[in-house]
Amino acid sequence: MAGIVVVFDFDKTIIDCDSDNWVVDDLGATDLFNELLPTMPWNSLMDRMMEELHSQGRTIEEIADSLKRAPLHPQIITAIKSAYSLGCDLRIVSDANLFFIETILKHHGLMDYFSEINTNPGFVDEEGKLRIFPYHDFKTASHGCDLCPPNMCKGLIIERIQSSVLKDGKKRFIYLGDGKGDYCPSLKLGDGDYVMPRKNLPLWELISSNPLLIKAEVHEWSYGEELGRVLIHLINKTQIEESTTSAAQLISADCKFQTMPLSSHDALPRTLPVPH
C-alpha cells in the first residue's frame, strides 16, 4: 500500500458542475432556489428544495436520472482508477450530499474506489422524499471555524483523516478541489503534501492571493485531462521519492546500528531524519 491519501472534493472537481445547482436547474426549480437563497443556509435550502420538488410530484427516480446526466470527464474516471491501482487511498470530502454522490459514483462504476465519503447525510424517507441534513449539526453547536459554512468544516475532516491514518506511518496527502470550502483543508496540509486547485476558481484564487500560507506544494489544473495527468505525475513522483527515502533510511540505519549502544536499539528506525 502506497503511503498516499488522495482527497477529492466532488462538485466541479470529480464532476464538472455543482450537483445541487444541476438538479435544481434540471428540474426547473431555479427561480425558487434563487429567491430563498438569501434567507437560509445552502444546505438547509437543498433540503427545502427537495421537499418542494416532492410536492410538485417529482419522483426520486427523476432526481437520480438527472444526477446520472451530470457531466463527468472520462479522463477523471481513468485517473481515479489509475490512482487506486497505484495503491493510493482515495477519499471524498464534499459539501454535496450522500445520495447525490453515491448515485453518480454508482452510475459510473466508481463506488468501490473510495474508502470513505465524508459529506452531508442524504436519504430517501418513507414518503419517497429526499432529505438532506448538515454534516455538522450547527443548531446544537458551532464547529468554530470562520472560514467554512456552518454545516461543514472540511479542515476538521482533514485533521481527522490525518490523525486516523497516522497509526500506519507517515502518509502524504494530495488534495483536489475548486471552491472556497476547500481552502480550510488546504491550510491543514503540511510539507510533502500537495494541493491541486482548479485554475481560476475560488480555491486557486485564495491560494494565489497569499501562497506563503500554504505549506503543501501547489499544482493547478483546469480540465479533466490535466487533472489526470498532474495527479498521476504526483503519485509517481511521490512513490519514487518514498522508495529512495526508505532505501537511504535502510543504509543509514545499518551504519548507525554498528556504533550505537544496544539500549537505544528499539528507537532506531523511527528517530532517523527523513531526507527531502
- Cite the annotated binding site for Mg(2+) by residue number: 9, 11, 178
Give the residue from 210, 183, 58, 25 showing the smallest Cα distance to 130: 58
How many residues touch Zn ion under the rule CB under 5 A: the total is 6
Note whether 14 and 72 are within 8 A (CB): yes
Candidates 9-17, 134-142, 180-188, 194-202; binding stretch for Zn ion (CB under 5 A): 180-188
Q: How far is the CB of 181 from Mg ion (least distance, A)?
A: 7
Which amino acid is present at 17?
C
Q: Which is nearer to Zn ion, 101 or 152 (CB)?
A: 152
Residues 174-213 that bind Mg ion (CB under 5 A): 178-179
Cell of 125: 424517507
Q: Which is nearer to Zn ion, 147 or 248 (CB)?
A: 147
Q: How far is the CB of 177 from Mg ion (least distance, A)?
A: 6
Catalytic residue among 11, 18, 89, 193: 11
Q: Which is nearer to Zn ion, 185 or 224 (CB)?
A: 185
Using CB distances below 5 to 8 A depending on partner kind, what does residue 23 bind out of Mg ion, Zn ion, none? none
User: Quick check: 184 binds Zn ion (CB under 5 A)?
Assistant: yes
Say how many residues make up the chain: 276
Using CB distances below 5 to 8 A depending on partner kind, what does residue 178 bind out of Zn ion, Mg ion, none? Mg ion
**Between helices 19-26 and 60-68, what is the axis angle to 10°?**
120
Give the DSSP letter string of 132-197: E--SS-TTT-----TTS-TT--HHHHHHHHHHHHGGGS--EEEEEE-SGGGHHHHHH--TT-EEEE
Q: How far is the CB of 157 from Zn ion (least distance, A)?
A: 9
Residues 9-28 that bind Mg ion (CB under 5 A): 9, 11-12
Give the DSSP letter string of 2-28: -SEEEEE--TTTTSSS-HHHHHHHHTT
Report how far apart the first and last C-alpha atoms of the chain are (Å, whole number). 21
Q: Which residues pair with 194 in a beta bridge?
A: 174, 217
User: Quick check: 179 binds Zn ion (CB under 5 A)?
Assistant: no
User: Quick check: 187 binds Zn ion (CB under 5 A)?
Assistant: no
Which amino acid is present at 179?
G
User: Quick check: 47 binds Mg ion (CB under 5 A)?
Assistant: no
Active site residue 9: yes
Residues 137-176 that bind Zn ion (CB under 5 A): 145, 147-148, 153, 155
Q: What is the maximal distance between C-alpha atoms in the chain?
A: 78
Binding site for Zn ion (CB under 5 A): 145, 147-148, 153, 155, 184
User: Catalytic residue numbers?
Assistant: 9, 11
Binding site for Mg ion (CB under 5 A): 9, 11-12, 178-179
